[in-house]
Structures are given as structure tokens and as C-alpha cells.
């Protein structure tokens, strides 16, 4: 199992550009989520999904879109990047029933100039 994979590892964007952060998992987990990590603020939930075709907003959803067409993939889209979106982004997945451990990807470090 590869677990949770994320691409790219690093990305630099100019203000106003768009891009998609990719996340995939091969554990057949129903739940997938995106967090951003900022100094002194810990991890904050952006969007999450409990299954294909189902997404919902987390704590800081503004400026981000998601979709979930398959169980395996959960891409995060920035339609018009802003410097405030400079952060490290983590994707995570887990089973939804009962308690289950969240597995995290290695992260994408995004800089918006």
C-alpha cells in the first residue's frame, strides 16, 4: 500500500493563478479531508468528504473547491490563488465507522507570491 499520496510536494504560484493539489489513497477509505498548516495555528480543516459524490466544508473553506468523483481521489482546487493561501496542505483519510486512525499524506508546500 502506498497509503496517502500528494502531488506536487512544492509549488509556487503568482496571485490570481489557479491550480489543483492532488490527493489519492489506496486503502479504500470513505473519509478524506484537506487541512492547512500555518505557524502557530496548528491544522485547520478546509473541506472533507465522507464518500464519492459527498463533500462538505470545514473550518476554513473560502477560496478552495473540492470534488470527490471516486473513492480514491480528493483533489483540492485553488481557483484564484492569494498570498493568504501560502501554507502547507495535508490530505488525510480514514474509515468513517467507529473510531479509525487518520492517515496523513506527506504534504504540499504552497507559496503564493
Partner 1 sequence: AQSVTQLDSQVPVFEEAPVELRCNYSSSVSVYLFWYVQYPNQGLQLLLKYLSGSTLVKGINGFEAEFNKSQTSFHLRKPSVHISDTAEYFCAVREGYTSGTYKYIFGTGTRLKVLA
- Residues of this chain that interact with partner 1 (CB under 8 A) are 4, 31, 33, 35, 40-45, 48, 50-51, 54, 56, 58, 90, 92, 96, 99, 101-102, 104-107
CB atoms within 10 A of CB 109: 14
Minimum CB distance to partner 1 smaller for 90 or for 112 = 90
Locate 46 and state its grid cell: 478546509
CB of 20 to partner 1, least distance (A): 19
Minimum CB distance to partner 1 smaller for 81 or for 90 = 90
β-strand partners of 21? 76
What is the Cα–Cα distance from 66 to 22, expressed in whole angstroms? 10
Amino acid at each position: 500500500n502506498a497509503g496517502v499520496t500528494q502531488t506536487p510536494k512544492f509549488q509556487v504560484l503568482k496571485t490570481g493563478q489557479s491550480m489543483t493539489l492532488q490527493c489519492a489513497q489506496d486503502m479504500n477509505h470513505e473519509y478524506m479531508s484537506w487541512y492547512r498548516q500555518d505557524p502557530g495555528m496548528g491544522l485547520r480543516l478546509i473541506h472533507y468528504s465522507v464518500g464519492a459524490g459527498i463533500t462538505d466544508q470545514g473550518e476554513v473553506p473560502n477560496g478552495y473547491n473540492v470534488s470527490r468523483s471516486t473513492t480514491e481521489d480528493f483533489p483540492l482546487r485553488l481557483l484564484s490563488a492569494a498570498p493568504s493561501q501560502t501554507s502547507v496542505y495535508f490530505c488525510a483519510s480514514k474509515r468513517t465507522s467507529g473510531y479509525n486512525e487518520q492517515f496523513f499524506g506527506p504534504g504540499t508546500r504552497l507559496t503564493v507570491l
